[in-house]
Amino acid sequence: MKRSRRAFLGAGLWAVLISRRPVAASAQALSAAPLDAVSLATLEAVADTIVPRDRDPGALDAAVPARILARLAIDPAALSLYRSGLELLDRVARQESAPSFRALDAAGRERILSSLLNGSHGAQPLAEQFFLRARRDVLAFYWGSVIGQGVVDYRPPLAGYPEYADPPPRARSPQR
């Protein structure tokens, strides 16, 4: 069956129109972000403190805050924990005469994050729970990213794990 040029172009037009719909939906989803701008900036500072950029790419290079936001959008309990924890970080920074957590230098941010574990703040269970969750999320999303895997030169297998199908030869036992 031979198709006409008009039918081909019409099908192409429909494909373009359909493919543009998710773009509008994703833009709408981004406008309803789970965190406000201040909390988002604090989250970026937390991620940058846990995995900073040095000679290797850091958490911001691996888009870790965006991955955390995507997770928070579907996990109300985690969202509540992050909101409270990020607010606590800014409050502790203001107690140390800084305008916000993100305004501190790297050493100051590390000191505040470490202090969440030692109980020097009134909201000890919240502080510890937030720190452990944020550290776990940042590290998991960083090492699970292509950038994090590239840092350690890890190349995931393309199809299964061939070493299980073809085990290495038996190792020699140590001489006694």
Burial 112-138 (b: 16+ CB within 10 A, else e): bbeebeeeebebeebbbebbebbbebb
Q: Which amino acid is present at 67?
A: R
Q: Is the separation of the CB atoms in 49 and 101 below 8 Å?
A: no
Tell the residue number behind the tokens 């993100």, with chain if given.
102
The pLDDT of residue 33: 74
57-65: Cβ within 8 A, 24+ apart: 57/147, 57/150, 57/151, 58/142, 59/138, 59/141, 59/142, 61/147, 62/141, 62/142, 62/145, 62/146, 62/147, 62/148, 63/145, 64/137, 64/138, 64/141, 64/142, 64/145, 65/40
The pLDDT of residue 90: 94
The pLDDT of residue 16: 47
The pLDDT of residue 173: 62
The pLDDT of residue 26: 39
The pLDDT of residue 164: 59
Contacts of 140 (CB under 8 A, 6+ apart): none
Tell the residue number behind the tokens 């996990």, with chain if given.
75
24 burial (CB, 10 Å; 0-12 / 13-18 / 19+) is exposed
Q: What is the pLDDT along the chain (176 residues), one digit of tens a residue?
A: 455 655 555 555 445 444 554 443 333 344 467 899 999 999 999 999 999 999 999 999 999 999 999 999 999 999 999 999 999 999 999 998 899 999 999 999 999 999 888 766 666 788 999 999 999 999 999 999 999 999 998 887 776 666 656 655 666 666 65
Q: How far, in Å, are 63, 91, 103, 112 from residue 96 at the CA level?
A: 29, 9, 11, 9
The pLDDT of residue 73: 93
Domain residues of the chain, as ranges?
31-148
The pLDDT of residue 10: 55
